[in-house]
Chain A
Amino acid sequence: MIAPVAQALDVERTYRMQGVPIHALRGVTLDVGAGEFLALVGPSGSGKSTLLHLLGGVDKPDVGRVMAGGTDLSSLNDQKLTRHRLEHVGLVFQRFHLLPMLTATENVEIPLAEIGLRRAERRQRSRELLERVGLGDRMKHRPGELSGGQRQRVAIARALANRPSLLLADEPTGELDRETSKGILELFESLAGSGTAIVVATHDLKLAAAAGRQLKMVDGRLNGLELS
C-alpha cells in the first residue's frame, strides 16, 4: 500500500483569542493520497484553513500527529519544517501574497532561489511553470499589471516551483469571477492528473464538486459527508 502524502491523526488545535479558547479542530483524522484532489467545504471558522496549515507544516497540532512521508511533522524544528514546506508542499492563498515589486517570473523564482538553484536554471524553470499555467505572455508583468485570475496563476506556479507532492489551496477562487475560477479548476484537475495531491479549502461548490473527494467541516470536525 502506498503511504499517504499527508496524514492527520486525531488532531486538535485550540487558539486563544483575547483570552478565550477557540477550538479550531477537534479530533480530525484524514489521509491524503498521491494524485488525490480533495475539497474541504464548510462555513467560515469551521477549521478548514487550520487543517490546511497543519497538513502543510505551517502550524502544529496541540494534540494528535501530522505525518508526511512517514515523518511526524511535530518532531521537526523550525528549520527542518521550513525545509519540508519548501521541498514538499505548495501553498496557494486567497490573496495571492505575491511580492508586488517583482515580475511574475521573479515571484516564481523565490522558492527556487531558496532551494539554491542557479539563476539561469531558476529562470528557465519559472518560465516553464508560467507557460504551464497559461501565462507565457505575462512573464515580465508585475502583480499590479495582472488580473486577479492571472495573479492566482502566478501564485500556483510559485507553489509548484519545487515540484511539491502536496498542493494546499485556501479559497483559491475566493476573489475570482466565475470564468476565471473555471480556469483555475481545470488547472487543478490537470495537476492532480499528473500525480500532485491537492487539498482545497473552499466555499465554491462548483470547485468542490469537481474534486475527487469532498469533505464537510463543521465546528472543527470532519463529518465525512460526501457532497457528490
Chain B
Amino acid sequence: MILRTAVRELRAHPGRTAFAIAGVAVASAMLLDMLMLAGGLQSSFRGLLSGAGFELRVSPAGTLPLDTDATLLDAIALADDIRNEPGVAAVSPVLALNIRLEGTSTPTADAGDPIVFALGVDPDAQGLYRIVDGRDLEAPSEVLVDERSTSGVGDTLRLTSVRTFGSAAAASAELIVVGTAEFLYSSASDVPVALDIEALRELASRPAEASFFMLDAEPGTDPDDLAQRLRARIPTVEIVSIREIVRRAEQRLSYFQQLAFILGSVSLVVTALLVGTIMAVSINDRYGIIAALRAIGVSRRSIVVTLLVETLALVTVAGGIGLVLGSLTARYLERILSDFPGLPAAIRFFVLEPRQLWLAIAALVAVGVAAALIPAYRASTLPIATTLHREEP
C-alpha cells in the first residue's frame, strides 16, 4: 500500500518527477564516474604490473624501468649475482631499444617511419607479452610481432640497429616471425617486436647490457624484504618491488583521488539539494491531505515511511539511469584518455569495481533519504487541527 501510494504520487506529477529524476541521474552519473576514476587508474596500474607474475624490478640507479634510455652495463654478471640471493626464484633480463624494421610487410602504423620498439627477452622467463597466435621464441633467428601488426607468422623481417652518436656501424639481421603477441606495456600507438635478448645484444652491439630485470620471488618470500636485502647488497642499482612502484604511483596519482573526492562530494551535495527541494515542495503541497490522514488515525511513522519510500523510489529510478549514463560517459572519456602518448594501452582510467558500484548506490540512497527526512518529519508533526482550519474553507 505504501509503495503503491508512493509510486502513484510520483506518477501523478510527471513534469516534477522527470525533472527530479533527470537531475539526480546526472549527479549520480558524475558520482559513479568519480568513484571509478578515484581508484581506476591505480587499480589497473597495479593489475598491469602484478599480472605478469614478477614481483620486483631492477633498473639503473635513480630510474624506474623504461623511464630513460639508461641501461645496466654489466647485466650478465649482475643477473648471476642476484640469482644467488636466497628467495630469488627467477631473473628475467630485458633490453629495450628502438630498431629499424624492414621486410615484405612493415608492422609500423606509419609506413614512412619503420622505427619500432624492440624488446630483447629471455623467452623462458619473461613477463612482457602473451602469445596470441603461433608460438614463443625458441631460437635467436626468430621474432614475435604485435597482434596489431600487419606481419604474420611465417613472414621474414629485416631488423637494423639504429645508430646513435658514438655507437658502432649499423648491423642487420633477418628474422622469421613465429608468433604474434599481446604486449602488456605497449601504448596504443606502439607496435613493438620481441626477440631473444642475445640476438638483440648482438644486433645492437651491446653484448652485456639490459634495460632492466624482472625478478620473481620464491613462494613465501616477502618481495619488500627481498628488495631491501638486495638494495643493501647492491646499492649501485635501483631495486624496487611492484608494491613499492604502486605505492609511488599512488602518491603521484593522489591528485586524481582528490579531484574525484571533491567532484564526487559535489554530486552528492547536488543530489541532496535536489531531492530535499523537490520533496519539500511536494510535501508542502500536501499539508492538507497529510493533516487529514493524521486526523483519521494514520500514524506519524506511516507518514514518514510513505514519504521516504517515495524518495527512495525517485532515487532508485534516477540512480539506475545515472549508473547507465555514468558507464557510457566513462567509456567515452576512456576512449579520449587512452590516446595519451606513451601510456600502456592496458591502463584504464575508469574501472568499475563492485565495491565502487555498491558505494555509489549506498551514498546516493543515504543522501537522498537523509535529504527527505527533514520535510517528511515536519509533515508528520504538523499541528493537525491548525492545518485543517487553514485548509478547510
Q: What are the interface flags for B268-309 relative to A under an 8 Å C-beta threshold, 1 for contact and 0 otherwise?
A: 000000000000000000001100111111111010000000
Which of the segments A28-36, A103-111, A205-213 contacts the partner chain? Answer: A103-111
Known: A101-B11, A106-B4. A56 touches B393 (CB 8 A): no
A80 to chain B, nearest CB (A): 11
Q: Are A99 and B5 in contact (CB under 8 A)?
A: yes
A169 to chain B, nearest CB (A): 12
Q: Are B295 and A56 in contact (CB under 8 A)?
A: yes
Query: Which of A53, A83, A158 is within 8 Å of B388, CB to CB?
Result: A53
Contacts of B9 in A (CB 8 A): 101
Q: Are A97 and B393 in contact (CB under 8 A)?
A: no
Q: Does A87 contact B (CB under 8 A)?
A: yes
Q: Are A110 and B389 in contact (CB under 8 A)?
A: no
Bin chain A's interface residue count. Answer: 35 or more
Q: Does B69 contact A (CB under 8 A)?
A: no
Contacts of A89 in B (CB 8 A): 296-297
Q: Are B5 and A49 in contact (CB under 8 A)?
A: no
B302 to chain A, nearest CB (A): 6
B123 to chain A, nearest CB (A): 71
A201 to chain B, nearest CB (A): 10
Q: Does B391 contact A (CB under 8 A)?
A: yes
Q: Are A101 and B299 in contact (CB under 8 A)?
A: no
Q: Are A50 and B385 in contact (CB under 8 A)?
A: yes
Q: Are A15 and B386 in contact (CB under 8 A)?
A: yes
Q: Are B298 and A94 in contact (CB under 8 A)?
A: no
Cα distance, A203 to B393, chains bound together (Å): 13
Query: Which of A99, A109, A119 is within 8 Å of B289, CB to CB?
Result: A99
Q: Does B384 contact A (CB under 8 A)?
A: yes
Name the CB-closest residue of A to B288.
Answer: A97
Q: Are A114 and B385 in contact (CB under 8 A)?
A: no
A156 to chain B, nearest CB (A): 12
Query: Which of B4, B5, B8, B289 is within 8 Å of A97, CB to CB?
Result: B289
B113 to chain A, nearest CB (A): 69
Contacts of B298 in A (CB 8 A): 82, 86, 110-111, 114
Q: What are the interface flags for B377-393 relative to A under an 8 Å C-beta threshold, 1 for contact and 0 otherwise?
A: 00000001110110111
A142 to chain B, nearest CB (A): 9
Q: Does B77 contact A (CB under 8 A)?
A: no
Contacting residues of chain B (357-390) with chain A, CB-CB under 8 angstroms:
384-386, 388-389
Q: What are the interface flags for A110-124 relative to B under an 8 Å C-beta threshold, 1 for contact and 0 otherwise?
A: 110111000100000
List the 9 closest pairs (A to B, CB-CB), nearest first. A86-B297, A97-B292, A59-B385, A101-B8, A85-B297, A101-B12, A113-B1, A53-B385, A58-B295
Identify 10 new A-B residue pairs, CB closer than 8 A, beyond the known A83-B297, A93-B392.
A58-B295, A78-B300, A82-B299, A82-B300, A83-B299, A90-B296, A95-B392, A97-B292, A106-B1, A114-B298
Using a CB–CB distance below 8 Å, which chain A residues touch chain B?
A: 15, 49-50, 53, 56, 58-59, 78-79, 82-87, 89-91, 93-95, 97, 99-102, 106, 109-111, 113-115, 119, 158-159, 162, 170-171, 174
Using a CB–CB distance below 8 Å, which chain B residues touch chain A?
A: 1, 4-5, 8-9, 11-12, 288-289, 292-300, 302, 384-386, 388-389, 391-393
List 8 A-B residue pairs with CB atoms under 8 Å apart, sorted by A's residue number. A49-B389, A53-B385, A82-B294, A91-B296, A93-B392, A101-B8, A101-B11, A170-B392
